[in-house]
């Protein structure tokens, strides 16, 4: 072989190699393409598998329950697990407001996001819901639609979001959303995975919603029916209770006396809660006292119960019932450590006590006792409560009624007393009136005497001895003075009595005053055939007195002595007792004396002795009362000794003038 042949052969070899290489490259390309296709197919299969697995998991979950939240939780957990994302959430459209609210969310801040509300169109979920289109957001920071408040609130830095609308027929009912921290986390594959899931989730949600609505309606209807039933029963019970209460109230309020009311309470209680023994205790001074009882005889405790007195301090359970105004039900007193055991009622096993309350006051307790445990229930107490309220009112009424009755009796007594007093006063007034009429006539009579004397002395002046004229004139003057004095004294007495008298006390010579009076009365004594003696007091110091009043005292006493002495003498003595600082005026007569029956009365106004009253002896019954008034005013003292048929002695003690007083 020559060189040319070698070259040609080499060229052929090169061409063959090149052709082989080209073939090889083609095959390689083919292989790569096949490989790629296989990989793609595998990925599609895997994806399909995942999709199927998800749907496989979600499907039964959707159909197994109609509880919306359970449906959603299982879908979201499955989605999150398969896609391996931070969180998933379902947002539903509020048909009333158009807002989106987060119905369910899983992931670290699921709880915080749940219930969150977005305004229509707000945020990425809002965008998906309003457009009805799916959305892949590779980076939330670069997307203005992203609602950042949720991120701030939850503290989750979410970067990728994938949202798929939840559709039922034409309507978008919500959004299924998956989120993650990583940027550009989701692709179309994920979207394709989510879309069918969203479709079945939407159907499940709708079903659950419909079921919920139906269920809710059913529940509501059932509840309404139950409520109606309850109301009907309550109304029936109420009506029954009202009727009972009306009867009880009627029965109670028709009883007027306290005792009858108490009796009626126990009687009515028997109808409401049948009992064997019951009693009522009423509160007074922190102590419960028995008011009424029934049935204790059969247990041999009547004697004890009839005297029941329980200081609240010793009965803590009762004290508590009174304080809280709540019923006390003891099912078994052996189980109640605070129960106070009384030997006589040791047979009591169960007990019910109901406070009888009137507004904010507790009047007492209505108590039921039983020798069987568990006899009374809280319902019994409840049933008895209206009775207790009616009882409180009835008891109060009875109390008021009895108070009014007592008042009426008191009033009657008072009226009778007053009537009696008035009758007495009237009698006194009539007597006074009679005395006054007599007084007026007596005064007129009294006045006539000095007038007669004046006339007599005027006559003597005209026809008597001339040398006696001046004496006559003196007597005349004195008589006229005495007359006006008498009128004055009548006025003075009334003034004295009214306490209006303004008396000026001065030192008065008693001897002089008595001497003048005696002189003035001498003619009268002579006219009566009496001896009139005056024994002045030797060295008698002046008394502290009002002169005219003193003369009045002497005049009245001596006039009386003359008047009431038919025969004999009248003696006037004056003396003093320096030791007790008093002067004594003594008017003694041998006259008729004073009847012991008259003696206590002679100083009373208008009082005249029984014997002299109807006699011709003139008098007003005023003389001694004037004397007494004046003596009292002078802080003196008057006393009388008298013996019927023998005579009388009047003694007047007057204080002597002392020092400068």
Q: How far is the CB of 649 from ligand ADP (least distance, A)?
A: 9
Give 268 or 648: the residue with its C-beta nearer to ligand ADP.
648
Nearest 5°: CA angle at 429, between 426 and 433?
A: 140
Residue 541: DSSP 8-state? P
Q: How far is the CB of 447 from ligand ADP (least distance, A)?
A: 13
Q: How many CB atoms lie within 10 A of CB 30?
A: 10
Q: How far is the CB of 555 from ligand ADP (least distance, A)?
A: 10
Q: How far is the CB of 466 from ligand ADP (least distance, A)?
A: 37
d(C-alpha 315, C-alpha 338), whole Å: 8
**Nearest alpha carbon to residue 365 among 306, 409, 319:** 319
Q: Which residues pair with 309 in a beta bridge?
A: 289
Give 62 or 650: the residue with its C-beta nearer to ligand ADP.
650
Give 301 or 648: the residue with its C-beta nearer to ligand ADP.
648
The answer to whether the CB of 106 falls within 8 A of the CB of 132 is no
Query: Where on the chain is the footprint of ligand ADP (CB under 6 A)?
Result: 556, 560-561, 564, 589, 591-594, 598, 602, 607-609, 612, 619-625, 648
Q: How far is the CB of 488 from ligand ADP (least distance, A)?
A: 17
Q: How far is the CB of 574 from ligand ADP (least distance, A)?
A: 18
Give 175 or 592: the residue with its C-beta nearer to ligand ADP.
592
User: Which contiguous run of DSSP H or E holds residue 73?
Assistant: helix 68-83
**Nearest alpha carbon to residue 395 among 350, 345, 357:** 357
Give 58 or 570: the residue with its C-beta nearer to ligand ADP.
570
User: Which contiguous run of DSSP H or E holds residue 430?
Assistant: helix 378-463
The answer to whether the CB of 288 falls within 8 A of the CB of 282 is yes
Nearest 5°: CA angle at 65, between 61 and 71?
A: 55
The answer to whether the CB of 533 falls within 8 A of the CB of 570 is yes
Q: How far is the CB of 556 from ligand ADP (least distance, A)?
A: 6
Q: How far is the CB of 448 from ligand ADP (least distance, A)?
A: 14
Give 196 or 568: the residue with its C-beta nearer to ligand ADP.
568
d(C-alpha 146, C-alpha 453), whole Å: 144
Q: How many CB atoms lie within 10 A of CB 83?
A: 19
Q: How far is the CB of 470 from ligand ADP (least distance, A)?
A: 32
Q: How far is the CB of 560 from ligand ADP (least distance, A)?
A: 3
Give 264 or 598: the residue with its C-beta nearer to ligand ADP.
598
Give 174 or 593: the residue with its C-beta nearer to ligand ADP.
593
Give 72 or 530: the residue with its C-beta nearer to ligand ADP.
530
Q: What's the 3-state SS for 273-340?
A: CCCCEEEEEEEECCEEEEEEEECCHHHCCHHHHHCCEEEHHHCHHHHHHHHHCCCEEECCHHHCCCCC
Give 42 or 526: the residue with its C-beta nearer to ligand ADP.
526
Give 234 or 452: the residue with its C-beta nearer to ligand ADP.
452
Q: Helix, strand, or coil here: 137?
A: strand
What sign results for the dihedral spanned by CA atoms 265, 269, 270, 276? negative
The answer to whether the CB of 549 falls within 8 A of the CB of 630 is yes
Q: Helix, strand, or coil here: 66?
A: coil
Closest-by-Cβ residue to ligand ADP is: 609
Q: How far is the CB of 496 from ligand ADP (least distance, A)?
A: 14
d(C-alpha 374, C-alpha 355), whole Å: 20
């Amino acid at each position: 072989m020559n060189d040319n042949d070698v070259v040609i052969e080499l060229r052929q070899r090169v061409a063959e190699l090149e052709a082989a290489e080209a073939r090889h490259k083609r095959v390689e390309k083919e292989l790569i393409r096949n490989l790629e296709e296989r990989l793609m197919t595998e990925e599609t299969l895997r994806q399909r598998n995942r999709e199927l697995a998800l749907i496989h998991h979600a499907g039964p979950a959707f159909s197994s329950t109609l509880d919306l939240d359970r449906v959603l939780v299982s879908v979201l957990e499955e989605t999150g697990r398969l896609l391996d994302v931070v969180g998933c959430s379902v947002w539903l459209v509020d048909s009333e407001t158009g807002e989106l609210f987060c119905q369910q969310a899983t992931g670290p801040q699921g709880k915080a996001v749940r219930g969150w509300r977005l305004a229509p169109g707000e945020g990425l979920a809002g965008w998906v819901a309003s457009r009805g289109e799916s959305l892949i957001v590779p980076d939330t920071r670069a997307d203005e639609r992203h609602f950042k408040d949720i991120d701030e609130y939850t503290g989750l830095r979410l970067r990728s979001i994938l949202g798929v609308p939840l559709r039922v027929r034409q309507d978008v009912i919500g959004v299924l959303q998956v989120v993650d921290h990583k940027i550009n986390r989701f692709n179309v594959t994920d979207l394709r995975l989510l879309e069918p899931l969203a479709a079945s989730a939407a159907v499940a949600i709708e079903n659950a919603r419909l079921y919920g609505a139906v269920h809710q309606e059913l529940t509501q209807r059932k509840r309404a029916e139950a409520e109606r039933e309850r109301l009907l029963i309550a109304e029936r019970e109420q009506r029954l209770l009202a009727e009972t209460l009306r009867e009880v109230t009627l029965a109670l309020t028709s009883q007027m006396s306290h005792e009858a009311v108490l009796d009626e309470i126990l009687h009515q209680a028997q109808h409401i809660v049948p009992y064997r023994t019951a009693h009522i205790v009423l509160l007074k001074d922190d102590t419960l006292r028995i008011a009424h009882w029934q049935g204790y005889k059969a247990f041999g405790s009547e004697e004890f119960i009839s005297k029941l007195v329980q200081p609240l301090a010793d009965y803590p359970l009762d004290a508590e019932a009174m304080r809280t105004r709540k019923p006390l039900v003891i099912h078994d007193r052996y189980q109640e450590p605070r129960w106070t055991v009384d030997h006589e009622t040791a047979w009591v096993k169960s007990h019910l006590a109901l406070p009888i309350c009137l507004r904010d006051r507790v009047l007492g307790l209505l108590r039921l006792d039983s020798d069987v445990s568990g006899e009374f229930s809280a319902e019994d107490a409840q049933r008895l409560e209206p009775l207790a309220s009616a009882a409180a009112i009835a008891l109060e009424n009875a109390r008021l009624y009895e108070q009014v009755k007592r008042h009426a009796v008191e009033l009657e007594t008072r009226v009778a007393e007053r009537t009696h007093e008035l009758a007495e006063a009237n009698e006194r007034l009539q007597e006074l009136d009679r005395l006054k009429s007599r007084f007026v006539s007596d005064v007129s009579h009294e006045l006539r005497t000095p007038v007669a004397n004046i006339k007599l002395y005027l006559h003597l002046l005209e026809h008597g001895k001339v040398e006696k004229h001046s004496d006559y004139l003196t007597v005349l003057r004195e008589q006229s003075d005495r007359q006006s004095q008498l009128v004055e004294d009548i006025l003075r007495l009334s003034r004295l009595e009214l306490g209006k008298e303004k008396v000026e006390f001065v030192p008065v010579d008693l001897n002089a005053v008595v001497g003048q009076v005696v002189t003035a009365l001498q003619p009268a004594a002579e006219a009566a055939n009496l001896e009139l003696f005056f024994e002045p007091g030797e060295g008698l110091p002046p008394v502290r007195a009002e002169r005219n009043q003193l003369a009045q005292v002497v005049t009245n006493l001596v006039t009386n002595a003359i008047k009431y002495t038919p025969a004999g003498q009248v003696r006037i003595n004056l003396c003093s007792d320096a030791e007790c600082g008093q002067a004594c005026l003594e008017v003694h007569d041998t006259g008729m004396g004073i009847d012991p029956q008259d003696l206590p009365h002679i100083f009373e106004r208008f009082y005249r002795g029984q014997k002299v009253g109807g006699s011709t002896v003139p008098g007003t019954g005023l003389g001694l009362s004037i004397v007494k008034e004046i003596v009292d005013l002078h802080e003196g003292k008057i006393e009388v000794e008298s013996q019927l048929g023998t005579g009388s002695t009047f003694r007047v003690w007057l204080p002597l003038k002392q020092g400068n007083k």
